[in-house]
Chain A
Amino acid sequence: MSESFRIADTKDSRVSGRPLRFVFDGIAYQGREGDTLASALLANGVHLMGRSYKYHRPRGVLSAGAEEPNALVAVTRGPGRMTPNLRATQVELFDGLTASSQNNWPSLAFDAGAINDLAGKFFSAGFYYKTFMGPKVAGNWLWTKVFEPIVRQAAGLGARTTEPDPDRYAQFYTHCDVLICGGGAAGIAAALAAGKSGKDVIFCDEQAEFGGSLLHEGTASIDGKPARDWLADALAELRTFSNVRLMPRTQAFGYYAQNFVALSERVADHLAEAPNGARERLWQVRAKEVVIATGAIERPLVFPGNDRPGVMLAEAARIYLNRYGVKVGSRVVIVTAHDSAYRVALDLAAAGVVVAAIADTRANPPVARLIEAKAAGLRVIPSATVTDTKGRLRVSGIGIAAVSGVVVDAPEWVACDAVLMSGGWTPSVHLYSQSRGKVVWHEDRQMFLPGASVQAERSAGACKGSFALVDILIEGYRAGEEASGASGLRAFAVSGDAGIEGGTMGRLPLLPGSKGKAFVDFQNDVKADDIELAVQEGMRSIEHVKRYTTTGMATDQGKTSNLNALAIAAGKLGKSIPQVGLTTFRQPYTPVTFGAFAGANRGDLFDPVRQTPIHSWAEENGAAFEDVGIWKRAWYFPRQGEDMHAAVKRECQQARASAGIFDASTLGKIEVVGPDAAAFMEKLYTNPWAKLEPGRCRYGLMLNEAGFVIDDGVIARMGDDRFHVTTTTGGAPRVLHHMEDYLQTEFPDLKVWLTSTTEQWAVIAVQGPKARDIIAPLVTGIDLSKDAMPHMSIREGKVCGVPARVMRVSFTGELGYEINVPADYGRSVWEAVWAEGRKYNAVAYGTEAMHVMRAEKGYIIVGQETDGTVTPDDLGLNWAVGKAKKDFVGKRSLIRPDMVVEGRKQLVGLLTDNPATVLEEGAQITAASAAPTRTSALGHVTSSYESPALGRSIALALVADGRKRMGETLYVPMPGGAIAVKVVGPVFVDPKGDRVNE
């Protein structure tokens, strides 16, 4: 095709002479540098760009901007680089662009889904709701076999790619003194004013070029210059300001609290080559002051057949002509309620397009407009309405009728290939409304306009209801000065500006019995009838009408439809527009890609992946890892051919037979220091600390105010004023916050300070009868002998020549040590321990073996044996509660009646009758083997393993009055039948505890 609708002389337009090739729906076309996909298609005479959502009606491009509801396309740039639902009016053409239409099968011109159009009466407003609530026919057959598949198939618009997105999306925070959103005349004037002030200014516009309507303004002149020349000079001046950041292709899509505005910048979508860097950037801007200069959007007129391809907004035709050098048709009819469409007619006529008629819905169009039209030889039909349009894939004719009073005359059919409509202009108050400002209805002007400012922002220009170019410039300049704290008003001289009067809302008068579909919301296929039906069926508020009909709920969020819908609903209800209300303007203004929101936070960078200093060794030695919070911990170390079960069994057996080496670096560690350190520990833990000697360790239990166990760990006293506290891996931050909270709010008089040392130390646990022999050759300055360093003690010395804290502790029930060395030395010391361990056939073990061995000893794990409702006594840990202590956090709660009542669940051991049966953790426990339904459980299984030490299964459980039930048989009901279990003590291995004291 050969751009047959491109005008010969494009020197005044924004497209260059450079041709670009592109493909739409498999057909190759030529466009120009500077085109959008929509303008390039129109240059080739293509109006049909999509199918409507519900009825699959053929649709052409309606607008030339971000508000486009019809021409939604998918652009494909290779695997994973497919973006659906792009507005063809915003897609910048590049050489090789490949785009396709959506919502049609098998083709755009013949779409099988168009059957919905004929069956339209079944798809009326609220179709979805009515279907859900419909009568049951043959059970649920009608719904499950007919309607649900239809609804599902029809749901959603556009397809997504299933490949991963290879592009990069950057996110930056930034700050500025003045943010100006919108680069039209008002924004330019504001930027000139703010730029001169020297303040830090961000000036953004969604389009590739700044200028807004000035980019297609061929008639007006500013300060004696043609508008386009004035614009070029103004932009040149702005570029000289180093304090002004000009951001084209950048949509301010959301206005949030404290002048936080989100911008989405399209960095690379207009380039033929895939980007090296970011495809898009999300800017999170904190602005001291904001100028909103977002302009206005032309309103469609609501008449039957107003959605045929070729029917479009009037000003859009002028944009395509003046900015892109494209005629939208050869013979057009203009239907308008507003002055602005006259300049469209004049420009088109001057370009050689036949303007067959200007149908003005007003009885008395302004005389100036009539004179202009007459001078150009154009026919004006006043008091006009549209009865219907003709044409299948393109409009071919329009029925225009005169209205006298409420009577609509017989129509006169006028042949045409484009209908250009204007219902007037709707100020874009979206950002203002998102800033929590309340829009105000102006009855005289029939507009919602910004009211008082809630945040530090002001609107200027058409978005504030100013439509005369001179007013827009003055207002913009003033807003820029106000936002930047400058003063010195500037005058602008404007001539040749068109009229700004007129406008209508709601549907045009109809011929009696008219059956044509008059669309309000083009994207969601909502007709004027649907809105009236919604009112008829009882919807009163616009919020209900909106949800019932889905008007304004498409991705365009009703930019072109909301006010028409509101007017129709208000008319039917006999109420005023403010009485019916206005729906909320939600972020984002236009759709934003998921990529922009995700940024770099995906894959390996989604969350921090915390690794211990010994992680690399475990990795090199084949460890399987498990996630513990955001830590990676070695889970088990399978040898060739071993599964998890075999590996864990070997690790447990070998640790008890010789020794096991375990990376315990993730344990939380807090250094508690100060003259009141012991007093503070007395308050935060249940145990007594005052008399614990330096060099000794004690198992500590931490409760919350309610008396329930929230953490535990071994705590070492390093000196009179210093404790080395360990916490559970997952509890480390929580415990530090809990301590700091109490220190600051309850015990501010205590002289004690907390410092996290979790990551200061790498911790290597060596557990097993050979533990001492293994570490001894590496340790200097510490007497490791049984008497000099008994169980539950700590010594400072050196291990492998580096300063170390060596604790003698056990979480396996075996003789054990935990070597703390500064973290950078962790791997090296581990390797030395490992080398020594090999001499004794020691194993490296992971968290699973650790869990098994501690369960064999009946040691609890907070979060597994506890669930936030478990007391020390429930766990059999009363020995850890200092009876003589006057107070500690949780003490008062421990004597509440329900905390000491009979029947509380207590920690016990369970042995299945069949030693091979391993219970399921979390399984419920009952007294009867076939407990009737609704029987309350006696408790549940908290831990369950196959125990290598016992050669059979073991389990820990919380059971009501468990300690009184020793020897009783209880049952664990499972889908395959109840499992009989015997209640035993929770310590399965070495109940006397001889081994730890070896």
Chain B
Amino acid sequence: MSDHAVMMASRRGPLHGLSLPKGTDFSLSEAPHAARFILRGDGASVAAFGPAAPKPLQGSAAGTRTALWLGPYEFLLLAPEEDATTVEAGLKATLPAGTSSLVDISHRQIGLVLEGRLAARCLSAGCPLDLALAAFPVGMATRTIYLKTEIVLWRQAETRFHVEVWRSFAPYLVGHLADALAGTNGL
């Protein structure tokens, strides 16, 4: 062990080297690095993180922190990257022992932001859900599929979606979204 010799490792994400579609009708970008946790257990536990416990199929935000409802006992917590240690320590200190599980999955998946008039259309190339605003309103979040990959889909605005996808499936998702955009010609 020799502290002096240790270099700090650098990050490289799964989209390294890939170009993402950018345009006014549709643009795809990678969300900033984030601290991500899966909180399993009682929804009341979410309060210790910040936002109120989200309702089923909803996201719930407070400041820079967001909790997405994935199931009756499962929540995806998103926070700025720099909050990672404080979130984990804070929750571990606050949560009543034995009522929940907190697991860091910051690197398990990445966030993608889809924006523009054709964002919902491009998503509908692989996601069978009804993404019309009435059926999937702003604030709604769900775990679903896009073709052969699982995603978490969260509508942040009428024409803006945040998608979470496991890292090794991300190039597949990005490739299909780009292809879907090309297939919207004239729509």
Contacts and interface: CB of A to CB of B under 8 A. Distances in A.
Interface string A169-194: 11111110000000000000000000
Of the listed residues B3, B13, B41, B101, the one surrounded by the most CB atoms of chain A closer than 10 A to its CB is: B101
Interface in A728-762: 751-761
Interface string A808-832: 0000000000000111111111001
Bin the interface of chain B by size: 35 or more
A711 B92 CA distance: 32
Give the secondary structure class of B's interface: loop
Nearest to A676: B98
Interface stretch (B46-54, B55-63, B103-111): B103-111
Interface in A265-279: 267, 275-278
Contact of B9 (A172, A276, A631, A832): A832
A605 interface: yes
Contacts of B13: 824
Interface string B162-173: 000011110110
A600 interface: yes
Contacts of B100: 753
A801 interface: yes
Dominant SS among interface residues on chain A: mixed
A600 B179 contact: yes
Given A600-B183, A776-B1, A825-B10, A757 B130 contact: no
Interface string A652-680: 00000000000000000001011100000
Contacts of B10: 825, 828
A601 interface: yes
Interface in A623-649: 631
Interface string A788-818: 0000000000111110000000000000000
Nearest to A275: B185
A610 B169 contact: yes
Contacts of B184: 170, 277-278
B39 to A, nearest CB: 9
Contacts of B16: 616
A780 B101 contact: no
Contact of B7 (A284, A609, A616, A800): A800
A54 B104 CA distance: 68
Contact of B98 (A277, A674, A802, A823): A674
Given A675-B98, A800-B6, A286 B130 contact: yes
Contacts of B41: 753
A277 B166 CA distance: 29
Contact of A170 (B99, B125, B147, B167): B125
A824 B108 CA distance: 9
A299 to B, nearest CB: 38
Contacts of B147: 601
A264 to B, nearest CB: 14
Contacts of B97: 675
Contacts of B8: 800-802
A604 B12 CA distance: 22
B117 to A, nearest CB: 15
Contacts of B1: 776-777, 779-780, 782-784
A755 B98 contact: no
B114 interface: no
Nearest to B136: A175
A168 B185 CA distance: 11
B128 interface: yes
Given A600-B176, A610-B169, A759-B109, A673 B102 contact: yes
B6 A801 contact: yes
13 contacts: A170-B125, A172-B180, A277-B185, A278-B182, A286-B128, A600-B179, A604-B175, A757-B108, A823-B107, A823-B108, A824-B13, A824-B33, A827-B12
A824 B107 contact: yes
Nearest to A280: B183
Top 10 A-B residue pairs of the complex, sorted by shortest distance between their CB atoms: A170-B183, A277-B185, A753-B40, A673-B101, A753-B101, A610-B168, A675-B98, A800-B9, A608-B172, A824-B11
A277 B176 contact: no
Interface string B107-134: 1110000000000010011011110100
A612 B166 CA distance: 12
B171 A611 contact: yes
Contacts of A600: 125, 176, 179-180, 183
Contacts of B12: 613, 616, 824, 826-828
A900 interface: no
A924 B132 CA distance: 60
A172 B121 contact: yes
A755 B9 contact: no
Nearest to A783: B1
B108 A278 contact: no
A669 B128 CA distance: 29
A755 B40 contact: yes
B3 A780 contact: yes
A631 B169 CA distance: 10
A759 B106 CA distance: 10
B6 A173 contact: no
A759 B101 contact: no
A605 B103 contact: no
A163 interface: no
Contact of A605 (B38, B127, B172): B172
Interface in B9-37: 9-14, 16-17, 33
Contact of A757 (B103, B127, B168, B172): B103
Contacts of A613: 12, 14, 167
A281 interface: yes
A616 B14 CA distance: 10
Contacts of A823: 107-108, 167
A410 interface: no
A612 B107 CA distance: 12
Nearest to B4: A777
Nearest to B16: A616
Contacts of A173: 124-125, 127-129
Contacts of A174: 124
Contacts of A151: none
Contacts of A829: 9
B108 A277 contact: no
Contacts of A825: 9-11, 107
B148 A607 contact: yes
Contacts of A276: 182, 185
Interface in B132-153: 132, 135, 147-149
B64 interface: no
Contacts of B167: 613, 759, 823
Nearest to B37: A755
Nearest to A604: B175
Interface string A277-294: 110010010100000000
B71 to A, nearest CB: 11
A836 to B, nearest CB: 9
B101 to A, nearest CB: 4
A289 B161 CA distance: 29
Contacts of A171: 125, 183
Contacts of A759: 107-109, 166-168
A821 B106 CA distance: 12
A608 B148 contact: yes
B89 interface: no
A778 interface: yes
Contacts of B3: 780
Given A281-B183, A824-B13, A760 B107 contact: yes
A200 interface: yes
B36 to A, nearest CB: 9
B25 to A, nearest CB: 12
B2 interface: yes
A437 to B, nearest CB: 24
